[in-house]
Amino acid sequence: MNTPAHLLFGAALFARPSHPGTTVAAVLGALVPDLSLYLMATASIWLMGIPAERVFRELYFSTEWQAVFAVDNSIPLWGIVLAFALWRGRTAVIAFAAAGLLHVTCDLVLHNEDARRHFWPVSDWMFRSPVSYWDPRHHGQIVAPVEMALAILCTAWLWRRFSGWRARAFFAALLALELTPHLMFHYLL
């Protein structure tokens, strides 16, 4: 899934309008599994001058990058954080870990050739889902519109729950970030 959709899904399920800290934690938890990719890709492209095509066709699949992704996309590690948070009764950490676990679980079932080691450190095995959120060779043309529709529903739900203009603007911006690439791709090609 695209990162903005992850953030909207995590917020829709785990954010709490009356607890801003829990809301921020849910959004951050949904972001963390993709954060290393953004940081490494940005540094590679903008600071080191590596062409984006090389970053996403070679470096993304390199042993070094996949080792980083194994850590921040580890279902066992996110599960440990969630179990600890539940045991300690830490609402914000529960929201953080649950949103992160939701993110990596969605990625597990929606990544094919770009799969990650979701069971590290227990196993280095990668589940290559027959379904992809983007690749038309693996039903991406079906999954992408479903993802967009769910993002719209999550945004509507969040707008109903959150009355403040800042929260609503944030969720609307996430929806715009989710929809814009899909719409541009559809209309430009």
Helix orientation angle between 91-110 and 20-42, rounded to the nearest 10 degrees: 40
Q: What helix, strand, coil percent values describe the chain, rounded to 5?
A: 75, 0, 25
* Per-residue confidence (pLDDT) for residue 134, from 0 to 100: 85
What percent of the chain clears pLDDT 70, i.e. is strictly above it? 96
Angle 140-161/165-188 helices, nearest 10 degrees?
160
Cβ pair 143, 110 in contact under 8 A: yes
pLDDT average, residue stretch 150-156:
98
Summarize the confidence of residues 104-122 as an average pLDDT.
96
Per-residue pLDDT tens over the stretch 159-183: 999 999 999 999 999 999 999 987 7
Q: What pLDDT was estimated at residue 184?
A: 66
pLDDT tens-digit readout, 7-42: 999 999 999 999 999 999 999 999 999 999 999 999
| Residue 73: CB atoms within 10 Å | 27
Tell me the whole-structure pTM to 2 decimals: 0.94
Tell which residue, 118, 109, 111, 106, has the closest CA to residue 135: 111
Q: Is the pLDDT of residue 189 over 60?
A: no
pLDDT of residue 99: 98
> Tell me: the pLDDT tens digits for 74-106?
999 999 999 999 999 999 999 999 999 999 999
187 pLDDT tier (thresholds 50, 70, 90): low
Report the 10 Å Cβ neighbour count for 105.
13
Number of H helices, E strands in the chain: 8, 0
DSSP code of residue 162: -
Residue pointed to by tokens 């990544």 = 111
Q: Quote the percentage of the chain above a pLDDT of 90.
A: 92
Residue pair 68/116 in contact by the 8 Å Cβ criterion: no
63 has a pLDDT exceeding 90: yes
Show me where the domains of the chain are located: 3-188
What pLDDT shows up at residue 181? 81
- pLDDT > 80? residue 188: no
Mean pLDDT score of the chain:
95
122-141 mean pLDDT? 93
Q: Cβ distance 126 to 114 under 8 Å?
A: no
Band (186; pLDDT cuts 50, 70, 90):
low
